Structure formats: structure tokens, C-alpha cells
Structure 1
């Protein structure tokens, strides 16, 4: 079977990693799966044209119900969708987007949510048949690069010299590239605000995007991995940190709380003051740190294995064949 997989494929992002992993699951079952960036298409008609070219695609998948799923509305082959998190957490608040997502979900053969919470939110906000929504947590596999070095972040700073542990490194992509190669900031207003704060704050550094292996190497050298998102579906970075034996400190939002069980697999915070308090606990309480590392590792092994994820997607793809 020849399948099209549409997703937002900004380099060195979680979306890209997830899409590549799902493609490998599908191809390991003997199918052909072509991965395309949703941002490369202006309309669903363009995707319909691609689908019909010879040899034609026999099915499709999309990660993110609005950004990618909306591009499948005009195709004449069966398709499935995977919730991205932002679609259910944020896009449903915009009426025009919500209506489009309802159409996508109605036409889709199946949908996949990373957590039970996302499935419940989809049932609440979208006119959906819950029987077609499957829950499959992300599968995690970590690989560490031996070549990654932290020296570029260790700038002269009195605060850093007094206690090298008190350094916050923010890693992630700040730019998107158009098809013509033009670089633009992902969120210009927010980027300017963050860069201004970082400039005047000792011990806080901005790093660009890193390959997954380099990112994992960076995590291994950290005292803790922080997730400060205000909206998450399921953070692969949190799960990767757990798998690598690094304690997690995450904002208390539904997507994070679904995988970070406070004081068991990680620590949650709801305010800057609570963030500082939980950070200090990690620094001073060795027993707490060791418990979080141990439980986090076990949790990932039991609930986020690649085998179960691969089996789920291969089984769902088979349903596209039984039209």
C-alpha cells in the first residue's frame, strides 16, 4: 500500500521526529509511506492532485487535525488522523477551525490521541464518534551523541561560577524556512521578548535547534529537564528525559500531568515561586531525585515502548485497506 503522511516538518522538532517514527512503523509492515510537509501545500486541492498522480496513493495520514488534516478533505482515498495536541488544546477555541476539524474527524476512518485526556477533550469539543478515536501514547527511543559539548554555553558569569548547576539552557528552533529558503522567526513578538530577557539575565542561554541525538546528549548532562509549555498534547522531551534518567520539572497542565505524576515520575509546578521551590528540592533532596529517576524510567518502559506503538499504527493502517 502506498500512503501519504502529512505533518508539520520543521527541522529538529518533536513533530518531525514523531512523523519519522510513525513512517518507520508503517514501512516496517511492507507499505510505502511518503512523508510531506503540510506547510508546502496551499490548499486541499493541491493534495488531492498529488494523491491522484501515477502511481496513485491508496491512503493517507495526517498529524494535527487542523494544520494537516484539513488538507485531506478533498481526497478520494481513505485516511486517518493523529491529534497533535495544539489542535485540541487551542484550535478548537476558534470556531472556524473547530468546524473544519469536525469535518475532518467525520470523514476520517480513524483518529489517534496520545492520551485519554485528549480523547475526552475531542469528544467534548468536536462532534465525533468516540468509537473511531484510539488512544496510543508516543513510543520513545533515545540515542545519545558522544560528540556534543557544552562549552558554547559556559560563558563568563559570576552566577554560573559560584554554582555551575544554576544555568538554564533553552534549546529549540527559533526559525522556520519557507520553500524558497527564506528564514523567519516562528513567533517574532515572543522571540524578541525572550531574547531581551535572556540578554540581561546571567546564567540563562538560548541555544538553537539540535539533532535528536545531540539533544539527548545535552539532556544527559543536565540536572533536570524543564517543560514550561502552556499547551501540550504529549511532550516527547519529557518522556525522553525520563528514559535517559534525568528528573523532569514540568508546568502543571493536562498534557504534562498525563505523564508526570507529581513526586513519583517527576515534579509539577504552577507558578514561578513553585518552580523555584521544586528546583531547590531537586538540588537538596537526593532521595527524591533518585526516586523520580527510577520511577520515570520504569514508567516509560511500561507505557511508551516502540513495540506497542508500531503494532497500533500497523493495525490501523490495515483498516484503510478494508474500504
Structure 2
């Protein structure tokens, strides 16, 4: 089958990574997947022309609002994959919620990555209960074998021996929902007490205004570094070499960074929000924290028992 797949494809973001994974699964199953960036289109009429031009027989959208709204009114069947933004943010806006309800009325099926996401979607749109299913993400990590950890440390302006460092990695696009500033003050204080502890924030500059705020605060914080996006293989290598991966998001659907860290057998420290709690089992597959102070204790435990 020839499928049109709409997703937000901003480079080096979780959405883009997820879209590529879904496409790989579809193509492995024998389908032809025409992947397009939903932000390149403004109306369903543009999608109608694309469907004709690409001779698509069915369609799929990642995000009920961002992609799904563009699939309304066409003759081909379509399904949607919920994103965290759908149930955590867009559902709270009346106009968007109405559009999303109408999309679900037309969709043949809807996929949530976790049971908690499914429950939230069913509570918002009870008429769609019978068509919402759960399917976890498939993860395949491929660290770049040629990656040099010391080069990464130099790029991060960390001038210490790699043998004694405790580098915590926060992977996120610079936008408010990821809340990268939540832990900056705490890590800066911890670095002053324990100079081997660093927080490195890695990700693209998604929100220009917020990015300026992040850069200004990080510049004043000791022990905190900020670098731009990285190729996926290099990023996986960074994760493999770091002490632990941190997530401080206000909301998540299913964090690709957390799943990749788990696949690479790297410890995970995640903010205790529904999307993270659906993936991380506290003190079993990672640690959940509700405040920077709780994370402070977790770091001390990690350093004491895991060692350099």
C-alpha cells in the first residue's frame, strides 16, 4: 500500500526521530511511505493535491491536531498517532479540541504510546474509545563508533579528566514545555560542592525567544553547558558515555531520549509527570523526581554507588 505520512519533521527533535522510526516499520512491512512535514501545508486542499500527485491509498498522521486536521474530508482512509502535545496541551484549548474531536470522528483508528495517554485521550474524546489502541515505540540505537568523548567534552568546555567526571545529559529542543531551566540552579549549586558534576543540555533552538533566555541563564551558571543539536549517531554515543540522562519536561508523550538511554543501558533520572511515569518505573528502570532537591539526593546516591 502507498501511504501518506504527515509529521512535524523539525531536524533533531523527538517528533522527527519518531516519524523516521514509524516510517521504517511501515516500509519493513512492505508499504511505500511518503513522509511529509505537516508544517509545509496550511490546508486540507493542499493535501488533496498531494494525495493525487503521489497516488496515495491511505494516510497516517503523527499528532492529532498538527497533522490530523490536514487529513479531514479526503476519500482515503487514515489513522492518527497521538503526540504528547495532543493530550497535554492542545486538548486544553477549546478551538483545537473541537478540531481534534472531528478528526477522531473521521479517523479509522488512533494509536497512543502508553496506557496513560490512551486514558487521557478517552477522557477527552469518549466517542472515540472504541478506536484508540496502545502501541509502544520501537527503539534502535546506533552509536557512532568513531565518536570521540574527549572531543565532546572540549566542545562543551569541560576541561577536566574524563575519568573523574559525572556528566548528566539533558536532551531537548529549547522550548518551554521541555523546561530545561528547571534544574540549572540546582546543578550549578551541586557543581560548586562537587566539581566533577556537570549538566550538559543538548538540542536544537526551537523557540528563539526562549533560547535567548536559556543561553543567558546558562552563561551565568557554573557547571552547566549548552550545545546545539547533534547527528543521531553522535548523540547516541554521547548518551552511552555520559553518567546519566535527565528529563525535566513539564509534559511528555513518550520521551525518545529516555527510551534510547534505556536501550543503551544508561541510568535515567526523569521528572515525575504522567508521560515519564508511564515509561520509568521508579527505582527499577530509573528514578523519578518531583523537585530539584529530590534529584539532588538521587545524584548523590548515583555517584556513591555507581562510581566514576
What corresponds to 1:247 in structure 2? 267
> How many Å apart are 1:161 and its aligned residue?
10
1:173 aligns with one of 196, 204, 208: 204
1:165·1:223 contact (CA, 8 Å) conserved in 2?
no
Distance between the aligned counterparts of 2:73 and 2:304, measured in 1?
Answer: 57
Q: Determine whether 1:261 maps to 2:264.
A: no
SS in 1 for 2:56: coil
TM-score by structure 1 length?
0.81
> How many Å apart are 1:17 and its aligned residue?
1.4
1:45·1:74 contact (CA, 8 Å) conserved in 2?
no
What corresponds to 2:4 in structure 1? 4
SS in 1 for 2:299: helix
1:230·1:253 contact (CA, 8 Å) conserved in 2?
yes
Where in structure 2 are the equivalents of 1:231-310 lying within 5 Å? 231-286=251-306
2:200·2:224 contact (CA, 8 Å) conserved in 1?
yes
> How many Å apart are 1:29 and its aligned residue?
2.2
Unmatched 5+ stretches in structure 2:
161-187
What corresponds to 1:62 in structure 2? 61
CA pair 102-120 structure 1, distance change in 2 beyond 3 A:
same
The CA RMSD measured in Å over matched residues stands at 2.0
> How many Å apart are 1:275 and its aligned residue?
1.6
2:203·2:227 contact (CA, 8 Å) conserved in 1?
yes
SS in 1 for 2:5: strand
TM-score by structure 2 length?
0.85
> How many Å apart are 1:67 and its aligned residue?
0.5
Distance between the aligned counterparts of 2:135 and 2:273, measured in 1?
Answer: 19
1:207 aligns with one of 227, 232, 253: 227
2:64·2:81 contact (CA, 8 Å) conserved in 1?
yes
Deviations 1:152-189 (A, max 9, x none): 11345899799664111101111xxxxxxxxxxx2233
Unmatched 5+ stretches in structure 1:
175-185, 290-323
What corresponds to 2:87 in structure 1? 88
Distance between the aligned counterparts of 1:118 and 1:48, measured in 2?
Answer: 30
Q: Greater CA deviation, 154-163 or 228-237?
A: 154-163
CA pair 211-170 structure 1, distance change in 2 beyond 3 A:
same
> How many Å apart are 1:52 and its aligned residue?
2.0
Runs of 4+ in 1 over 6 A off after TM superposition: 157-162
SS in 1 for 2:222: coil
2:192·2:222 contact (CA, 8 Å) conserved in 1?
no
> How many Å apart are 1:128 and its aligned residue?
3.0
Distance between the aligned counterparts of 1:240 and 1:57, measured in 2?
Answer: 32
SS in 2 for 1:259: coil
What corresponds to 1:133 in structure 2? 132
1:154 aligns with one of 145, 154, 157: 157
